[in-house]
Each structure stands twice: as C-alpha cells, then as structure tokens.
Chains A and B, each alone.
Chain A
Amino acid sequence: MARVAREMVEKAGVNVDQLIELLVKNAAAELTTYYYYTILRMNLIGLKGEGVKEIAETARIEDRNHFEALIPRIYELGGELPADMKAFHDMSACPPASLPKDPTDPMAVLKVLVEAERCAVRGYTQVCNMTVGKDHRTYELAVAILNEEIEHESWFSEFLGEGPSGHFLRRGDTSPFVGKFLQ
C-alpha cells in the first residue's frame, strides 16, 4: 500500500473504502467483459458480423488493458482483489455481456456490446465525479479509461444506426489513452 498516497486522498475528503470497492467492481466488469467479448467476437460471422468483428476485438483488448491498469491503483490505496474468481465475477459493476438468444444476429450482438459500454461509461463517470480535484491519480486513470469506453460506445452505436459520432477505428496501438498506465 502507498500509505501517504492513501492518506492524501482521505484528507481530501474521499471515502477511500468506497472508492476501492468501486474500483474493484469496475475491474471485475473489465475482466468479465474481456471474457464475454471473446465469445461475442467468435460469433460475429457472416457478411454483417465480420464487419463488426474488428472493433469488437479492439474493445475486448482495451477492456483487458483497463483491468490491468486498474489493479495497481487498487493495491496502492490499500485494496485487494477477491481470492475467489467467482466472487469477483459476481461483484462486477456491470451485468454479464452474455450472448443474445440469437447469436447469429449481429444487431442483437451489437446491442449487448453497446449496453456493456454504456454501463462502463456510467461507472467511470461516477469514479471521475468522486475523485475530481481530490484523488488526482485515480481521476487521471478513470478519465483515460472513460475516453476509451466512450469511443467503444460510439463505434457500436454507429453500427446500430444511432447517428454519427465521428470516431474512426484505432490506428496503431490499442489504448491510446490508457497506454501510459501500462508501462
């Protein structure tokens, strides 16, 4: 644990135990999403499905990166991950991104994907709101993740025909915002 770092956050008025619990729940959401997106991606086939597969894969890898980036901050603040993987899954901040009833329907898969991203956008907005001006390190991390989650939501939303957002697919490395936390 980074004792003084935690003290500074507490002194700024953040309930650190609540914050840690939120971070662990969001880390669980990222890792479970990585798992469920693996299954969704495998089912994105056919003329329509193949067109979505690449962004689903990028979102999958970036969600795993978010998990990796969150863990050091949880431990710095004095938190830890549950020893039981099932307990970790069940405490996720977002519901499982399970395959839709008809896994051959790319639009149904896209709806699962966009709902998962929207849950993440809400979750990191909450973390940002709790930490802004108080816990600079967690805030910067949460903002970085939020930027990527918003782009994921935009990609899937565009495929669903909800209107333009102006975002291109990734060019170059994944996680342009979170990458610096993965060094």
Chain B
Amino acid sequence: MKKFTLDELRRCDGTNGRPALIAYKGKVYDVTGSFLWQEGRHQVLHSAGADLTDAMADAPHGDDLMERVPVVGALIDD
C-alpha cells in the first residue's frame, strides 16, 4: 500500500485534473470519482488533499460512509 506524507497528500487536491485524495484516521482514500467531491470540494466546506480526521466530528454523517470509497494508501509523518 502506498505511503503518503502530508505534503504529497496536499498535492492531490482534485483540481486541474489531479486526483482527489483525503486522509482519515491514518488511511488515504481516493474520492476522485465521487459525485460529492467534484473538483476536490465537498459540500462547500471541505477540500481534498487534507487530513479530515478532526472534521468528521462536525460532519452530518459517520465514518461508515468512508467504506464507500477506496483506500489507496496510508498517511505517514513527514
């Protein structure tokens, strides 16, 4: 499984044809094909290329929805 640093993750922000990746609890998810992550943005408030672990607490959904998107790697310390 590919390992991503936070810097590498930041570059995968879903804009300009780049993949849209997000991190959650140490795993990296590919949301590029998700209707809800077009252009790397999710419901106005969130952007791809970020670790959204802390944001889940305020989200109107649980982490069960993460099971719908593929895991493509793990987030490691820089």
Contacts and interface: CB of A to CB of B under 8 A. Distances in A.
B58 interface: yes
Majority SS at the chain B contact face: loop
Contacts of B15: none
A152 B75 CA distance: 39
B36 A95 contact: yes
Interface of A: 18, 21-22, 25, 90-96, 121-123, 125-126, 129
B16 interface: no
Contact of B35 (A96, A121, A122, A125): A96
Interface of B: 35-36, 38, 43-45, 58, 60-61
- Interface SS of chain A: helix
Given A18-B44, A22-B44, A93-B43, A123 B36 contact: no
A122 B61 contact: yes
A129 B44 contact: no
A25 B44 contact: yes
B35 A126 contact: no
